[in-house]
Structure formats: C-alpha cells, structure tokens
C-alpha cells in the first residue's frame, strides 16, 4: 500500500482525484471506456469536489457505481447516499456516461441485489474511490468482515460503532434514526478494482488507519485486507496519520 500524507484535507482531495483521473484517462485510452466506483461520507467531500472539477477526463466514457446505501431509506432523506451523490457528483457532471445507483428502498431487495450484481459484473472496475470508517469498515462491511463473499453486493447489518459514526457526522437527528441495515459492496468485489484510491482525513480515523497499516490482516479490521491489493493508495492528512509509528511506503518512494 502506498501512503501519501498531504498537508491539508484540500490537498488530500486534489492529490487523490489527480491519481484517480490519470487511471481513468489510461482506461479510456486503452479501452475507450472507464468504470469507476465512488464513495460517500464526510471523508469524500474534498475528493469528490476535486474530481468533478477535472476537465481532463472524457466523462461521457465513464460508467460509475457507488459502494453502499441504507435499506428502506427514500432518496429524499438527508442521509441518503443517492441524494449525496446526485448533489455532489452526477449533477456536477452532466456529460457522465452512466451512474448505476443502489436502490436501497426497492420493494424486492433480492431483485435489486441481482440487478446491481449483474451490472457490475459487466463493468470491471478500473478505479475505486473509498474511505475507511472509524471502525475500519470498508463500504458498510463492519467488523468482522467477510473476506470470502462470493456476491458483489449484499445486505449487511450495521454495528453500533458504525451507527454512532453516522450520527456523529450529523446525518441523522438521533442515534435511533440511523438504520440498522444497508446494501453494501462486498470486500472481494472492492478488491477486484484495478486501482483503489482511499481518502481518509481527520483525527477520528487515526486509530483505524494505524490498525489498517500496522496491524495484522484480519476481518476485525476490514480495511487491513487492502494491504494485499497490488495498487492501493491511501491519502491521509496529518491528523489521520498521527498515530502511525512510521510512514512505511511514502508517495514517490
């Protein structure tokens, strides 16, 4: 895993977007199209803002997916990930080729899972942008995460720490309002991406970052599996890097 410690959240977002953009351009040059996954949450604000400003990408050739969505939440809810992405991504990229949203409030969840599994199987992912939760989750795969899942998306239960984080970020009026279930991309599906670009700012992520990089690869630290990916870049700011004993593989090294 390549670690980049950027001086600010803004430069973190710009550097992560620049790396992703070069891989998107390379995929378009090689195949005429690129497939990407984008993430949500407070950690992705600066990255998405920088990504939608990139005018060096032929966005019409890009097909996009996202990582996760709450079950039974209408898109009009302030915490809906579809709403988040329509406000911060698709509305800023009118030329975008396609965006396949996870309909977490679909009446038939099995049919919805089958639909998005088939779609992503037809679109091998070139670049996956993601964050890491305070509990080191990847997408909504809370600990202990399933590193062996065979499907691309599944329904998952959200653990207490994860629900507290969502409440703490201000997306819900009370903890009780945070859903207990979501549809999440599975970890094996995330690991199939050609390039993984992680944007992880803020001191509240410092322990998860340390456990991810310095601890063993274990389902109890879902993001630790990323150490086994051949092209994974982790963008930190000084507060999120604060607990690292050393920066093992700095950018450009």
Distance in Å, CB of 132 to ligand F6P, minimum: 6
- Residue 175's SS3 state is helix
Smallest gap from Cβ 55 to ligand F6P, in A, equals: 25
13 or 131: whose CB is closer to ligand F6P? Answer: 131
Cα 144 to Cα 70, 132, 224, distances in angstroms = 19, 14, 12
Write down the least CB distance from residue 59 to ligand F6P, Å.
Answer: 21
Minimum distance from residue 66 beta carbon to ligand F6P (Å): 7
> Under the rule (CB under 6 A), what is the footprint of ligand F6P?
39-44, 67-68, 130-131, 133, 139-140, 169
Nearest residue (CB) to ligand F6P, 17 versus 28 = 17
The DSSP string of 53-72 is T--SS-GGGEEEEESEEETT
CA distance 38 to 131: 10
CB of 159 to ligand F6P, least distance (A): 11
Closest CA to 102 of 91, 118, 116: 116
Cβ proximity to ligand F6P: between 41 and 179 the closer is 41
Separation between Cα atoms, residue 45 and residue 40, nearest integer Å: 8
Task: Tell me how far apart the alpha carbons of residues 124 and 152 are, in angstroms, rounded to a whole number.
Answer: 11
The smaller minimum CB distance to ligand F6P, of residues 33 and 219, is found at: 219
How many degrees, rounded to 5, is the angle at CA 179 between CA 70 and CA 152?
A: 35
Nearer to ligand F6P, 61 or 141 (CB): 141
Residue with the CB atom nearest ligand F6P in the bound state: 41
Query: If DSSP codes are grouped into helix, strand and coil, which group holds residue 114?
Result: helix
Q: With contact defined as beta carbons under 8 Å apart, do 63 and 123 qualify?
A: yes
Q: Which is closer to ligand F6P, CB of 58 or CB of 181?
A: 181
In angstroms, give the least distance from the CB of 43 to ligand F6P.
3
Instruction: Extract the tokens encoding 111.
Output: 């049919």
Residue pair 138/225 in contact (Cβ under 8 Å)? The answer is yes
Q: Smallest distance, Å, CB 34 to ligand F6P?
A: 20
Residue 212 backbone dihedrals phi, psi, to 5 degrees: -65, -45
146 vs 169, beta carbon nearer ligand F6P: 169
């Amino acid at each position: 895993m390549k670690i980049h410690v950027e001086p600010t959240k803004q430069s973190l977002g710009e550097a992560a977007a620049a790396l992703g953009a070069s891989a998107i351009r390379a995929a378009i040059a090689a195949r005429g199209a690129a497939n990407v996954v984008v993430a949500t949450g407070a950690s992705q604000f600066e990255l998405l803002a920088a990504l939608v400003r990139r005018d060096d990408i032929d966005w019409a050739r890009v097909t996009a997916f996202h990582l996760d969505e709450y079950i039974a939440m209408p898109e009009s809810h302030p915490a809906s990930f579809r709403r988040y992405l329509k406000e911060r991504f698709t509305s800023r990229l009118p030329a975008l080729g396609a965006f396949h949203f996870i309909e977490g409030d679909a009446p038939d969840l099995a049919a919805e899972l089958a639909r998005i599994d088939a779609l992503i199987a037809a679109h091998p992912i070139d670049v996956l942008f993601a964050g890491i939760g305070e509990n080191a989750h990847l997408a909504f795969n809370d600990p202990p995460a399933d590193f062996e899942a065979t499907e691309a998306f599944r329904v998952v239960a959200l653990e207490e720490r994860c629900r507290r984080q969502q409440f703490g970020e201000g997306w819900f009026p009370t903890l009780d309002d945070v859903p207990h279930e979501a549809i999440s991309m599975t970890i094996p599906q995330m690991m199939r991406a050609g390039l993984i670009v992680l944007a992880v700012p803020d001191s509240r992520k410092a322990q998860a970052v340390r456990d991810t990089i310095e601890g063993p690869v274990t389902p109890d630290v879902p993001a630790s599996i990323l150490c086994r990916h051949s092209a994974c870049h982790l963008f930190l700011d000084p507060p999120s890097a604060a607990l690292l004993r050393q920066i093992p593989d700095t950018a450009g090294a």
